[in-house]
């Protein structure tokens, strides 16, 4: 039993490190604008390329984890991710930043969700939603803690030394986390209770169902917001007159409020299922996006960010259990990885378009309006899904 919770702790540390540093990347937008004169469209494109590579490699990472175990895969990707930040400290040309994001950052990001959440899903069943929520609390804690630390480092030691420190820290923490991620078969063999039976549909069977492609479309639509808002939120706050450290606090508010969203929706998913929980998350996200369109006062913006963060956090929790409910655990890693891939397509496109909208209009209003429309369409698709049979469950 204890071994299963060590896996959860390792997954949580992985999420803390990877996503905390990813959220902090938006703080370098102003740095690169001032230092090199690069546009936000260009900087957003670098983030988008990383997301697209992440999605493609997530499918590969899931299969490699099934074959070689999560520890090896997470250790390798952690080293790659850390090296990306170290190399980023030396960029002087746009193509260099683009190349680093397309290779080191994209590959490094590709395993933090599919490997950790699939491993946890195989280790738990009746509390699968709650354990997924605990893992994703690591993400929220990273969002709260890391951006302010990075902002302080930029002011104290400069942007280049900060990126080097981020890279070395990432490698150290992710290697420790990888050592904690034992394969599910070994966890079960160590007296942790029965392993989750590989029942349910094969990958090929799932691909022939309407539900599979609907889930892929839903992930594409809402993930556009989940990647676009964090990328531009800090610089949006600076545009409204906030200092860099105060704007970094907006990202921390997203992280703090998303803790409640992750835990609340994780528990709710175990009680009412992923479909209903996903619908509630999307409705909350829509309310936050609508608020971004009309709020400019700093105090009110913090409230809108908190509302957005609740839905943002919940959305990262409910999809993995929802895949298990519809398709079982037989091919969970491959199915979940493919759904995530479609999400990263949206996550790759959204930040670039938002940056382009800002460069053309000097405002993010139209970008937030577009995200709101996409999220509303995602909600309509969720409501069109049949109720899942909740297959693949076993006693936890």
Q: How many CB atoms lie within 10 A of CB 260?
A: 16
Q: Considering the domain 2-384 in this protein, what is its CATH number?
A: 1.20.1250.20
pLDDT for 171 equals 96
Q: What was the pLDDT predicted at 394?
A: 35
pLDDT digits (tens, 9 = 90+) for 374-390: 999 999 999 999 987 65
- Residue pair 340/114 in contact by the 8 Å Cβ criterion: yes
Q: Is the pLDDT of residue 215 over 90?
A: yes
Q: How far is residue 308's CA from residue 45's CA, in Å, rounded to a whole number?
A: 24
- Residue 61 to residue 179: CA distance in whole angstroms: 17
Dist. CA 72–CA 183, nearest whole Å:
10
User: Inter-axis angle of helices 332-361 and 298-327, to 10 degrees?
Assistant: 150
Q: Average pLDDT, stretch 290-295?
A: 88
Cα angle 174-224-333, degrees, rounded to a multiple of 5: 50
- Residue 185: predicted pLDDT: 53
pLDDT of amino acid 136 = 82
Among 101-110, 225-234, 242-251, 340-349, the minimum mean pLDDT is found in 242-251
Question: Residue 209 gets which letter from DSSP?
Answer: S
Does this model's pTM top 0.85? no
Pair 74, 14: CB distance under 8 Å: yes
Question: Which residue, 314, 316, 318, 307, is CA-closest to 253?
Answer: 307
Could you tell me the end-to-end alpha-carbon distance of the chain, in angstroms, rounded to an integer? 10
Identify the band that residue 335 occupies on the pLDDT scale cut at 50, 70 and 90: confident
Q: Is the pLDDT of residue 355 over 90?
A: no
pLDDT at 108 over 50: yes
Cβ 280 vs Cβ 269: under 8 Å: no
DSSP string, 44-85: HHHHHHHHHHHHHHHHHHHHHHHHH-HHHHHHHHHHHHHHHH
Whether the pLDDT of residue 306 is over 60: the answer is yes
- Name the token pair of 221: 């639509």
- pLDDT, residue 309, reads 92
Q: Which two tokens stand for residue 389?
A: 């049979």
């Amino acid at each position: 039993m204890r071994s299963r919770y060590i896996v959860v702790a390792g997954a949580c540390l992985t999420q803390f490190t990877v996503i905390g540093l990813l959220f902090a990347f938006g703080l370098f937008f102003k740095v690169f604008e001032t230092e090199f004169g690069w546009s936000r469209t260009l900087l957003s494109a670098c983030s988008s390329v990383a997301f697209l590579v992440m999605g493609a490699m997530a499918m590969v990472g899931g299969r490699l984890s099934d074959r070689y175990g999560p520890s090896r895969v997470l250790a390798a990707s952690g080293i790659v991710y850390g090296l990306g930040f170290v190399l980023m400290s030396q960029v002087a040309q746009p193509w260099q930043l683009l190349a680093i994001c397309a290779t080191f950052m994209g590959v490094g990001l590709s395993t933090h969700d599919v490997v950790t959440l699939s491993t946890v899903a195989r280790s738990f069943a009746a509390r699968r939603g709650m354990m997924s929520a605990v893992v994703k609390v690591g993400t929220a804690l990273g969002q709260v803690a890391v951006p302010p630390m990075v902002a302080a480092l930029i002011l104290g030691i400069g942007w280049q030394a900060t990126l080097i420190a981020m890279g070395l820290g990432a490698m150290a923490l992710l290697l420790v986390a990888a050592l904690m991620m034992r394969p599910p078969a070994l966890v079960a063999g160590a007296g942790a209770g029965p392993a989750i039976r590989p029942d349910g549909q094969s990958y090929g069977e799932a691909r022939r169902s309407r539900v599979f492609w609907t889930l892929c479309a839903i992930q594409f639509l809402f993930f556009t917001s989940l990647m676009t808002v964090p990328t531009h939120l800090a610089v949006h706050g600076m545009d409204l007159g906030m200092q860099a450290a105060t704007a970094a606090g907006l990202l921390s508010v997203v992280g703090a409020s998303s803790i409640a969203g992750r835990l609340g929706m994780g528990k709710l998913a175990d009680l009412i299922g992923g479909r209903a929980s996903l619908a509630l998350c999307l409705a909350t996200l829509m309310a936050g996006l609508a608020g971004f369109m009309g709020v400019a006062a700093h105090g009110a913006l913090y409230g809108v960010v908190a509302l957005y963060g609740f839905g943002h956090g919940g959305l990262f929790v409910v999809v993995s259990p929802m895949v298990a409910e519809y398709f079982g655990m037989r091919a969970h890693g491959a199915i979940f990885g493919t759904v995530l891939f479609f999400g990263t397509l949206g996550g790759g496109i959204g930040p670039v378009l938002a940056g382009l909208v800002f460069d053309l209009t000097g405002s993010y209003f139209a970008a937030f309006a577009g995200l709101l429309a996409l999220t509303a369409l995602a909600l309509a698709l969720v409501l069109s899904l049949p109720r899942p049979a909740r297959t693949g469950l076993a006693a936890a």
